[in-house]
Amino acid sequence: MVLEVKEITKSFGEKQVLSGVSFEAQGGKALGLLGRNGAGKTTTIRIIMQVFNANSGEVLLDGKPLDTDKVSIGYMPEERGLYPKKSIMEQLIYFANLKGVSTSQAKENAIKLLEKLEMTEYKNAKLNTLSKGNQQKIQLVATLVCNPDIVILDEPFSGLDPVNAMLLKDIVKELIADGKIVLFSSHQMNYIEEFCDDIVILNKGKVAVSGSIKEIKRGYERNKIYISSQEIEQVQNFITSNISSLIKNISQKDDGLLLELNREDDKPQVLRTLADCSADIDEFKVYEPSLNDIFVDFTEGAI
Amino acid sequence: MKQFFTIFKFELSGYFKNKFFVGFTFAVVILIGVGLSFPSIKGKFKDESAKPSVSEGKKTKVAVVVQDGMDEASVVSIFESAFGEEYIVKALNTDEKGLIKKVKTGKFDKGFLINSPLSYKYVTDTKSISDSDAYIADEVLIQIYRLSALTGAGVSPVDAEKIMTASVDSEIVITGKDQTQSFLYTYIIILLLYMSLMLYGQFVAQSVASEKSSRAMELLITSAKPTSLMFGKVLGSGFAGLLQLALMLFASFGFYSLNKEHWQGNEFVESIFGMPLEILLYAILVFILGFFVYAFMYGALGSLATRPEDLNTLIMPVTFIFIAAFGIVISAITGGNLDSPLMIACSYIPFTSPMAMFARIAMSTVPKYQIIISVAILFVSEFIVGYLSAVVYKTGVLMYGNTPKLKDIFKILKIKSR
């Protein structure tokens, strides 16, 4: 399955929210949908889910216009919300029914998911009697109870303790392994890096960058070197006194040094010179930007 | 359509699981049952209604002081017969001060100081709103005066008595409605319509607003079409309301027919249950049509509330229209002027016509074509109001933040209708 978002534009009144957004999500892979607040992520998601229509552009599944009556989409909104005063099973069945799943099938799906998330004992409880983390797990069950082909998770890990986060990770991995299309929106870059092969970064309603994380990282100049050592001061002194002409910028990062070279071809020379340094060097590698760096670069500022 | 039925069922089951709703319905049914079965439980209601018993100790003591040589004995006896069994009338030989003292100290409840055949002073410790004793005294004195005037003019006492007690034999032919008969049930049904339309309309608004504030809407709006969501909810609430009303009506008529013989002679109860069937059916029709007009608007306004506390401000304009309609109709039925230009206009305006046209049909004679036009306007309005409300709802449920003002609602409608 391939979900294609093609050149969608959307404006609310005078305000242009999306202009020509395009990307592609493959079944069996997770796509990270990133962007600062107000970049247009939720609007994009709502257009995919046909809450409203785009002014132009189209959403295709396997080349045909996406029909939400035939293809089930599971959505976990960033703003969590279910019926606080209704029993969990009752509302899970209701949400599945709305997606066209029969009551008996919904019950079966719900029981399986509740078991997986260790929540079976709460199936008849009212939602507002549960802790926040447990409510979050129920929200996930509500997302998946219709056994969706496309799963859209907006900040799924917020509010979860490490144990629950592990449970959720397993479920996300399972969804990917089952060949489902997973759209993953989060500001926690570590989770994106863990699950997603591909990302789309939206900025002010436009795609700032999209593609595989590896490719995007490779697209960066390879003129930065990271050196880690227990004797970092000594290494820094050695470099500044011997090869300062090759260095554009030098700074300390974590437990090491980050060197920005004038030319990426000078890397072998730096390595050869460092062989004469008496300090004990643990690591010498080309520095690849983190997803956080990429995000900041493409969205003009910090998260 | 399937989604609509899912939502409809969910809303309806929400009402059935709501302890307050179920409890209230049963409490009312039980109250109706007990109320209407009361006479047969007591088994002696007819006697009680015929002459309400007042215990000996509670009889009202009236002192009569006759000052100017009138026939004291005959005055007292006429007073006695005029006031009836609940009063003990005694002649007293004292002056104004003495009479006031007697009343003040509680020896007598009230007193009449008769100065001349056509002038008296009424002394009472407490004058209740329903006190008609002075009026009775007026009647008695004027009768005594007229009798003595007639006999003084040479008419024999027997003839004078005949003249005084002459009565007119009359018969009333009503070609339209008898308002004295229809007033009570019209009033009750208008009140019921008012309460139920308002209550269920507000239930819809509350339910939409709470879905939005709990953010369940985020999931709902991505799972179902907004029109299904709104129509499912409105129809679910409407059906619950109708069911509740039907249950109450069924209980009322059921218990009444079980206890019918005990209520014979009670005009109040008989006039309510003597309501023609077509009036009842029309009441149900206007409940259904009126409910949707208001529930759609309430639903749309509920969708604009970010927090439940915004709701009251938002629904106020609709509630105002509703209260105004109720006020106009109630003043028309109590005043009996059901065919005033205002009422005729109101019986065509969709927001007022459910109550106004109902009142006119029940208490006046309305040409058939007027009824048909009114119902047709109301029916068409359902679709227009339903469509406009759905437009507001679609946008409203996704709007969070400041409570929108009336001009914002028009803006939504303007943008969407482009």
In tens, the pLDDT along B292-334 reads 888 899 888 888 888 888 888 888 888 898 899 999 999 998 8
Q: Cβ of B219 and A13 within 8 Å? A: no
Average pLDDT over residues A267-284: 88
Give the model confidence (pLDDT) of B20-56 as tens digits: 889 999 999 999 998 888 877 776 545 544 444 444 4
The chain A residue lying nearest B411, using CA atoms, is A13
Distance, in angstroms, between B186 CA and closest chain A CA?
A: 39
A216 has a chain B CB within 8 A of its CB: no
Instruction: Give the pLDDT of residue A302.
Output: 41
pLDDT band at B6, cuts 50/70/90? Answer: very high
Averaged pLDDT score across all residues of chain A = 89
Using a pLDDT cut of 90, give the percent of chain A over it: 35
- Kindly tell me if the per-residue pLDDT of A56 is higher than 90: yes
The chain B residue lying nearest A86, using CA atoms, is B14
pLDDT band at B411, cuts 50/70/90? Answer: confident
The chain A residue lying nearest B11, using CA atoms, is A94
In degrees, to the nearest 5, what angle opens at C-alpha A159 toward C-alphas A154 and A164? 95
pLDDT band at A177, cuts 50/70/90? Answer: very high
pLDDT band at B257, cuts 50/70/90? Answer: confident
Give me the residue spans of the domains in chain B.
Answer: 2-37+179-417, 56-155
pLDDT band at B57, cuts 50/70/90? Answer: low
Instruction: Give the pLDDT of residue B418.
Output: 52
Give the architecture (CATH level 2) of A2-217: 3-Layer(aba) Sandwich (3.40)
Hey, do A2-217 and A221-287 end up sharing a CATH topology, with the first three levels equal?
no
Residue A87 pairs in a beta bridge with A126
- Kindly tell me if the per-residue pLDDT of A255 is higher than 90: no
Q: What are the backbone angles phi and psi of residue B296, rounded to the nearest 5°?
A: -65, -45
Name residues whose C-beta falls within 8 Å of residue A150's C-beta, 6 or more positions apart in sequence: A1, A3, A48, A61, A71, A72, A73, A74, A180, A181, A182, A183
The chain A residue lying nearest B13, using CA atoms, is A90
Q: Cβ of A82 and B398 within 8 Å? A: no
Instruction: Give the pLDDT of residue A192.
Output: 87
B312 has a chain A CB within 8 A of its CB: no
A209: closest CA among A301, A287, A290, A294?
A294
A103: closest CA among A93, A95, A113, A111?
A93
Q: How many CB atoms lie within 10 A of CB B47?
A: 11
pLDDT band at A61, cuts 50/70/90? Answer: very high
Averaged pLDDT score across all residues of chain B = 84
Give the model confidence (pLDDT) of B168-179 as tens digits: 888 888 877 777
Task: Flag whether the ipTM exceeds 0.90.
Answer: no
Distance, in angstroms, between A105 CA and closest chain B CA?
A: 15
Give the model confidence (pLDDT) of A197-216 as tens digits: 899 999 988 998 888 888 88
Q: Say if domain A221-287 classifies as CATH 3.40.50.2300.
A: no
CA gap B122, B134 in Å, rounded: 7
Name residues whose C-beta falls within 8 Å of residue A165's C-beta, 6 or more positions apart in sequence: A157
Average pLDDT over residues B72-99: 85
For residue B418, list chain A residues with Cβ-Cβ distance below 8 A: none
Give me the residue spans of the domains in chain A.
Answer: 2-217, 221-287
- Kindly tell me if the per-residue pLDDT of A187 is higher than 50: yes
Question: Token pair for residue B379?
Answer: 């029916």
pLDDT band at B416, cuts 50/70/90? Answer: low
CA gap B87, B83 in Å, rounded: 6
Q: Cβ of A82 and B6 within 8 Å? A: no
A103: closest CA among A114, A118, A91?
A91
B416 has a chain A CB within 8 A of its CB: no
Instruction: Give the pLDDT of residue A303.
Output: 41
Q: Cβ of B219 and A73 within 8 Å? A: no
- Kindly tell me if the per-residue pLDDT of B343 is higher than 50: yes
Residues A270, A246 contacting (CB under 8 angstroms):
yes
Name residues whose C-beta falls within 8 Å of residue B38's C-beta, 6 or more positions apart in sequence: B45
What share of residues in chain B are helix, strand, coil (percent, to 5)?
Answer: 70, 5, 25
Q: Cβ of B216 and A82 within 8 Å? A: yes
Distance, in angstroms, between B310 CA and closest chain A CA?
A: 19
For residue A11, list chain B residues with Cβ-Cβ distance below 8 A: none
Average pLDDT over residues A135-154: 92
Average pLDDT over residues B327-347: 89
Name residues whose C-beta falls within 8 Å of residue B246's C-beta, 6 or more positions apart in sequence: none
> Going by DSSP bridges, is the β-strand pair A181-185/A196-203 parallel, antiparallel, or unpaired?
unpaired
Instruction: Identify the burial level of A157 via C-beta atoms within 10 angstroms of its C-beta, where 0-12 means exposed, 13-18 middle and 19 or more buried.
Output: middle
Give the model confidence (pLDDT) of B357-403 as tens digits: 999 988 888 888 999 999 999 999 999 998 899 888 888 888 776 66
For residue B216, list chain A residues with Cβ-Cβ distance below 8 A: 81-83
Q: Cβ of B222 and A73 within 8 Å? A: yes
Q: Is A159 left (phi over 0), alpha (psi -120 to 50) or beta?
A: left
**Could you say which residues from 64 to 103 on chain A have a Cβ atom under 8 Å away from some Cβ of chain B?**
73, 75, 77, 79-84, 86, 94-95, 97-100
Q: What are the backbone angles phi and psi of residue A108, rounded to the nearest 5°?
A: -60, -50
Q: How many CB atoms lie within 10 A of CB A80?
A: 22
Average pLDDT over residues B271-294: 86
DSSP H or E run through A203: strand A196-203
Average pLDDT over residues A260-286: 88
B73 has a chain A CB within 8 A of its CB: no
For residue B14, list chain A residues with Cβ-Cβ distance below 8 A: 86
Instruction: Give the pLDDT of residue A94.
Output: 94
What is the secondary structure of B118-158 as a DSSP string?
Answer: TEEEEEES---TT--HHHHHHHHHHHHHHHHHHHHTT--HH
- Kindly tell me if the per-residue pLDDT of A114 is higher than 90: yes
The chain A residue lying nearest B213, using CA atoms, is A81
A20 has a chain B CB within 8 A of its CB: no
CATH of B56-155, one of 3.70.10.10, 1.20.80.30, 3.40.190.10, 3.40.50.12140: 3.40.190.10
Q: Cβ of A83 and B216 within 8 Å? A: yes
Instruction: Give the pLDDT of residue B130.
Output: 78
Residue A139, Cα to own-chain centre: how many angstroms?
18
